[in-house]
Chains A and B, each alone.
Chain A
Amino acid sequence: MIRIGIDVGGTNTDAVLLDGTKVVAGVKAPTSRDVMTGVVEALRKVLAAAGREAATVDVVMIGTTHFTNAVVQRRDLAQTAAVRLCLPATECLPPMVDWPEDLRTVIGNHWYLAHGGNEFDGRVISPLDEAELRGIADDIRGKGIRSVAVTSVFSPVSTEFEERAGAILADALPGVHITLSSSIGRIGLLERENAAIMNACLRDLSQEVVAAFRGALADIGFTGRFFLTQNDGTLMDAAFAERFPVLTFASGPTNSMRGAAFLSGVQDAIVVDIGGTTTDVGSLQKGFPRQATLAVEVGGVRTNFRMPDVFSIGLGGGSLVVDSPDGVTVGPRSVGYRISTEARIFGGSTLTTTDIVVADGGATLGDAAKVSGLDRGLIRRARDRIAFMLEDCVEKARISAEPLPVIVVGGGSILVEGPIAGLELIKPDHFAVANAVGAAIAQVSGEVDRVYSLAEMGRDEALSDAKAKATEAAIAAGAHPDGIEIVDVEDVPLAYLPGNATRVRVKAVGDLHVA
């Protein structure tokens, strides 16, 4: 199988071409304002570098920051109605209550509370009221809103209410996009509802973007299928991506971690991705990034959907090095993409981490003579400071006492002098385009997160039920039914309740089913 992986980042659009599991070529092109021009350029470059025709490529996988940026910049967002099935519960805090005012205003602050919803153990809060929902549909139609997010209390326990309400609204509002919260988020009403509403407001944009990708690929003569990558390192096909654009949030760090696992052949490791301004650190478990357990904000909105547990520190190849009587500081300020003119070795006047490394003989880059006069003591102190910063974040990312290896990727990898925190260090080939490789090799997943009442079934029974549901979800998402693996199982008892309720989270992953 011949695959192309593309990663659209803030500065560069990277592309790689893989033949089977071999990386044939990897290229970088500047990200363009319209995104598509940069994508097409990267595609043409990678095909030329690999010496292949577009028609010989089987699949293209794309990781993109389009949708995150749309929310962050509050542009191209559709008017959206939030319908919550809950009454009489939850009335105290309406949908979007904790959103930044400007974002809420952009999408219209349209919300409706209706009857429905479940208790933690599956009991019904109140029955669904079809007439009430049809009334809401009339109002939505009257306002000309074309996208609706439906959220029911405890829908991760039972999706029934959301599905029935979704069907009623779809019937009453032909052609309107319906997003169900249970297909996106997990327990935590406001966070899941937020994710559903953000997804809904991106539905128009997602249609445009997916069509534009389709057009760009057709232009270069590609005839196969294409996919977008999700934040959990797995794929969604074009039709699914149109419906769930919010799942692309934070796919960049995920792709670089997955790429690192692939390039190094190591499945359990700490990944350090050093760029120009920041370093992203996360941990790989069975080849996938560990997921965050705390709420993550996107564009000022609190969410709890599947995000990699990656954190960033202000350390990169362009980070400023400042000496003072209190000691040397490194970052968080950086010259960023201006490194090629502002760093000392490139004739500039700013002392950066890259200058320190070159002065110390750690890399051959630019004009080393321009930093030959640097104080040896300063060089040592700066390198020690960098080593301390890397060690601290690697320790934070570790999830067990097991001596996992550290995989270093990204353009700023030269900052690494030797083993970090005494762990084995791996710098794989093609480390600079690990993110595009991660997109190219992405698999397909299914996930379940729900509360089980252990009074009704035993823990083992609950876990196997969750595993079966996760496997079904993976197959529905396009995984080959053979060789699906359960990669993550977690059960957390609900505190402050007498022992019978437990929250179970399971994820299943399989290879893409290419028909």
Chain B
Amino acid sequence: MKTIRTFDVADMEDVAVGGAVLGTGGGGDPYIGKLMAQEAIRKHGPVRLADVGDLADDALVVPVCMMGAPTVMAEKLPQGDELMRAFGALEQRMGRKVDAVICIEAGGVNSTTPFVVAAASGLPLLDGDGMGRAFPELQMVTFTMFGVASTPMVLCDDKGNALVLDTISNQWTERLARAATVEMGGSALLAAYPMTGAIAKKSMVRGTLSLCARIGSTLRETRAAHGDPVAALCALLGAQTLFHGRIADIERKTVGGFARGRAVLNGLDQNRDQVLHLDFQNEFLIAERDGEVLVTTPDLITAVDAETGAPVTADGLRYGQRLVILAWPCDPIWRSKAGIDLVGPRYFGYDRDYLPLA
């Protein structure tokens, strides 16, 4: 396969920043995943990025990711072989060699985990992912809409345990794997959703990993040139500046293991005298200005520091921060009825319909 570009140790810094931006407030800090990818690249050499269009239709593609609490992963770091063990076990189960690695979630810590496997296996990494952002549950991937089964799936822990799942639906996989992850100590690594090249071409959100790298390099270079990082980020993402304001209040509660909440921002500059409400459940899901809903999930909402353009997670929101809220349309794949059923506002318990962002 043709290599679009390669990723060396230093490039992973940019990917991690981009992963945090596409994390739309959630997905976990990419820090540990970035360090793991850098170690793997030091040991095995750079990662080759490839375009899914160049893949044979009958090729076998396998995504890998981390599941569980990013806070746990930052304390009990992985043993290191989990991803490769899960990947290898799934390959064995499929009875044939895997041709390429794919990213399941370009937002948060999982923007970096597939680089570990791509470096260690020497296989190309496809430029794209199964979300184009971050979402909290395993079935919330574009692959689900194209009938890809999440199983056989292999879930591995630090001790050497491997759990192979065969389930009747991707929702069941989420349910069983989540319970197993808690038993494994709150953080586990997995390979799942084996699929053909033909399906990957149809279902993946393309270009998101090279976008991560460009987000990181754009912010880095704009800051170095004393430019306006937020404006540069908007231009790169084709995002609109939804709001410029300060956090005036944050309400948090936990429901079923997910951090839910609502932030209130008071406007500055062009948004003076306006108020923005930002609803989050790990990720930012709904933005409402002066009572009018402007953006709903799965369209992307990200909060960045007004000066540096550095992404701010929902966990990191604090009173008084001056933020710019950016929003841009999700990949058209999500905008079907099946997509909205899977990740639209009603799935997250909000009594409102999806409102496509222009």
Whether the Cβ atoms of A153 and B76 lie closer than 8 Å is: yes
User: In this assembly, does B259 line the interface, its C-beta being within 8 Å of a C-beta of chain A?
Assistant: yes
Whether the Cβ atoms of A189 and B322 lie closer than 8 Å is: no
A190 — which chain B residues lie within 8 A by C-beta? Answer: 32, 35, 74, 77
B78 — which chain A residues lie within 8 A by C-beta? Answer: 89-90, 92
Q: Which of A88, A397, A495 contacts B257 (CB 8 A)?
A: A495
**A266–B75 CA distance with the chains assembled, in angstroms:** 38
B185 — which chain A residues lie within 8 A by C-beta? Answer: 89, 119-120, 123, 125
**B255 — nearest CB in chain A belongs to which residue?**
A499
A187 — which chain B residues lie within 8 A by C-beta? Answer: 71, 74-75
**A498 — nearest CB in chain B belongs to which residue?**
B257
Binds B, one of A51-59, A209-217, A398-406, A431-439: A398-406
B74 — which chain A residues lie within 8 A by C-beta? Answer: 187-190
User: In this assembly, does B164 line the interface, its C-beta being within 8 Å of a C-beta of chain A?
Assistant: no
Cross-chain pairs A/B with CB under 8 angstroms, 24 sampled: A89-B77, A90-B76, A90-B77, A90-B78, A90-B158, A92-B77, A120-B72, A120-B76, A125-B159, A188-B74, A190-B74, A190-B77, A294-B316, A399-B318, A399-B320, A401-B319, A493-B254, A494-B186, A494-B257, A495-B257, A495-B259, A496-B69, A497-B72, A499-B255
- Consensus secondary structure, chain A interface: loop
Whether the Cβ atoms of A392 and B35 lie closer than 8 Å is: no
**A91–B246 CA distance with the chains assembled, in angstroms:** 42
User: In this assembly, does A286 line the interface, its C-beta being within 8 Å of a C-beta of chain B?
Assistant: no
> How many interface residues does A have (CB within 8 Å)?
43
User: In this assembly, does A117 line the interface, its C-beta being within 8 Å of a C-beta of chain B?
Assistant: yes
User: In this assembly, does B256 line the interface, its C-beta being within 8 Å of a C-beta of chain A?
Assistant: yes
Whether the Cβ atoms of A92 and B80 lie closer than 8 Å is: yes
**A286–B211 CA distance with the chains assembled, in angstroms:** 45
Q: Known contacts A187-B71, A501-B186; can you find 15 more A-B pairs with CB under 8 A?
A: A90-B76, A91-B79, A92-B77, A93-B35, A120-B186, A125-B76, A493-B254, A494-B72, A495-B259, A496-B69, A496-B257, A497-B68, A497-B69, A497-B182, A498-B178
A501 — which chain B residues lie within 8 A by C-beta? Answer: 69, 186
A120 — which chain B residues lie within 8 A by C-beta? Answer: 69, 72, 75-76, 185-186
A75 — which chain B residues lie within 8 A by C-beta? Answer: none
A119 — which chain B residues lie within 8 A by C-beta? Answer: 76, 185-186
**B281 — nearest CB in chain A belongs to which residue?**
A495
Distance of B306 from chain A, by nearest CB (Å): 9
User: In this assembly, does B274 line the interface, its C-beta being within 8 Å of a C-beta of chain A?
Assistant: no
Known contacts A88-B160, A120-B72, A400-B319; A497/B257 CB under 8 A? yes
User: In this assembly, does A129 line the interface, its C-beta being within 8 Å of a C-beta of chain B?
Assistant: no
**A93–B249 CA distance with the chains assembled, in angstroms:** 38
Q: Which of B36, B68, B248, B322 contacts A93 (CB 8 A)?
A: B36
Known contacts A91-B80, A120-B186, A493-B254; A97/B75 CB under 8 A? no
Distance of A384 from chain B, by nearest CB (Å): 16
Whether the Cβ atoms of B256 and A499 lie closer than 8 Å is: yes
**A86–B159 CA distance with the chains assembled, in angstroms:** 11
Whether the Cβ atoms of B76 and A496 lie closer than 8 Å is: no
B248 — which chain A residues lie within 8 A by C-beta? Answer: 401
Known contacts A189-B75, A495-B259, A497-B69; A398/B80 CB under 8 A? no
User: In this assembly, does B331 line the interface, its C-beta being within 8 Å of a C-beta of chain A?
Assistant: no
Distance of A181 from chain B, by nearest CB (Å): 11
Q: Which of B136, B179, B182, B320 contacts A398 (CB 8 A)?
A: B320
Distance of A256 from chain B, by nearest CB (Å): 20
User: In this assembly, does B288 line the interface, its C-beta being within 8 Å of a C-beta of chain A?
Assistant: no
Residue-wise interface mask of A (64-94) relative to B, using a CB-CB cutoff of 8 A (1 in contact, 0 not): 0000000000000000000000101111110
Q: Which 4 A-B pairs have the closest CB atoms?
A: A92-B80, A89-B158, A90-B77, A493-B254
User: In this assembly, does B51 line the interface, its C-beta being within 8 Å of a C-beta of chain A?
Assistant: no
B158 — which chain A residues lie within 8 A by C-beta? Answer: 88-90, 125
Whether the Cβ atoms of A399 and B319 lie closer than 8 Å is: yes
Whether the Cβ atoms of B319 and A495 lie closer than 8 Å is: no
Q: Which of B36, B69, B186, B322 contacts A92 (CB 8 A)?
A: B36
User: In this assembly, does B128 line the interface, its C-beta being within 8 Å of a C-beta of chain A?
Assistant: no
**B157 — nearest CB in chain A belongs to which residue?**
A89
Whether the Cβ atoms of A93 and B315 lie closer than 8 Å is: no
**A188–B248 CA distance with the chains assembled, in angstroms:** 29
Whether the Cβ atoms of B257 and A154 lie closer than 8 Å is: no
Distance of B114 from chain A, by nearest CB (Å): 15
**A270 — nearest CB in chain B belongs to which residue?**
B320
User: In this assembly, does A219 line the interface, its C-beta being within 8 Å of a C-beta of chain B?
Assistant: no
**B78 — nearest CB in chain A belongs to which residue?**
A92
Known contacts A92-B77, A189-B74, A395-B320; A495/B282 CB under 8 A? yes
User: In this assembly, does B341 line the interface, its C-beta being within 8 Å of a C-beta of chain A?
Assistant: no
**B40 — nearest CB in chain A belongs to which residue?**
A92
Most chain B beta carbons < 10 A, residue from A97, A398, A496: A496
Known contacts A398-B320, A399-B320, A494-B186; A93/B259 CB under 8 A? no
Whether the Cβ atoms of A494 and B69 lie closer than 8 Å is: yes
**A398–B178 CA distance with the chains assembled, in angstroms:** 38
User: In this assembly, does A293 line the interface, its C-beta being within 8 Å of a C-beta of chain B?
Assistant: yes
Whether the Cβ atoms of B320 and A397 lie closer than 8 Å is: yes
**A289–B322 CA distance with the chains assembled, in angstroms:** 20
Distance of A391 from chain B, by nearest CB (Å): 11
Distance of A358 from chain B, by nearest CB (Å): 30
**A189 — nearest CB in chain B belongs to which residue?**
B75
Whether the Cβ atoms of A401 and B249 lie closer than 8 Å is: yes
Most chain B beta carbons < 10 A, residue from A89, A397, A493, A501: A89
**A395–B318 CA distance with the chains assembled, in angstroms:** 12
Whether the Cβ atoms of B39 and A89 lie closer than 8 Å is: no
**B186 — nearest CB in chain A belongs to which residue?**
A120
Residue-wise interface mask of B (146-186) relative to A, using a CB-CB cutoff of 8 A (1 in contact, 0 not): 00000000000011100000000000000000110110011
Q: Which of B32, B70, B77, B322 contacts A396 (CB 8 A)?
A: B322
Most chain A beta carbons < 10 A, residue from B136, B158, B160, B249: B158
Whether the Cβ atoms of B39 and A499 lie closer than 8 Å is: no
B315 — which chain A residues lie within 8 A by C-beta? Answer: 492, 495
**A493–B255 CA distance with the chains assembled, in angstroms:** 10
A397 — which chain B residues lie within 8 A by C-beta? Answer: 320
Q: Which of B247-262 contact A (CB under 8 A)?
A: 248-249, 254-259
User: In this assembly, does A333 line the interface, its C-beta being within 8 Å of a C-beta of chain B?
Assistant: no
User: In this assembly, does A503 line the interface, its C-beta being within 8 Å of a C-beta of chain B?
Assistant: yes
User: In this assembly, does A98 line the interface, its C-beta being within 8 Å of a C-beta of chain B?
Assistant: yes
B217 — which chain A residues lie within 8 A by C-beta? Answer: none
Distance of B162 from chain A, by nearest CB (Å): 13
Distance of B33 from chain A, by nearest CB (Å): 10
Residue-wise interface mask of A (359-401) relative to B, using a CB-CB cutoff of 8 A (1 in contact, 0 not): 0000000000000000000000000000000001001111111
User: In this assembly, does B321 line the interface, its C-beta being within 8 Å of a C-beta of chain A?
Assistant: yes
Known contacts A92-B39, A395-B320; A496/B254 CB under 8 A? no
B249 — which chain A residues lie within 8 A by C-beta? Answer: 401
Whether the Cβ atoms of A496 and B77 lie closer than 8 Å is: no
Distance of A446 from chain B, by nearest CB (Å): 22
Known contacts A119-B185, A399-B320; A496/B79 CB under 8 A? no
Distance of A509 from chain B, by nearest CB (Å): 23
**A188–B249 CA distance with the chains assembled, in angstroms:** 27
**A494–B136 CA distance with the chains assembled, in angstroms:** 13
Q: Which of A84-140 contact B (CB under 8 A)?
A: 86, 88-93, 97-98, 117, 119-121, 123, 125-126
**A187–B29 CA distance with the chains assembled, in angstroms:** 14
Whether the Cβ atoms of B35 and A495 lie closer than 8 Å is: no
Residue-wise interface mask of B (253-293) relative to A, using a CB-CB cutoff of 8 A (1 in contact, 0 not): 01111110000000000000000000000100000000000
**A190–B248 CA distance with the chains assembled, in angstroms:** 33
**A97–B68 CA distance with the chains assembled, in angstroms:** 24
B256 — which chain A residues lie within 8 A by C-beta? Answer: 498-499
Whether the Cβ atoms of B186 and A395 lie closer than 8 Å is: no
**B83 — nearest CB in chain A belongs to which residue?**
A92
**A120–B71 CA distance with the chains assembled, in angstroms:** 10
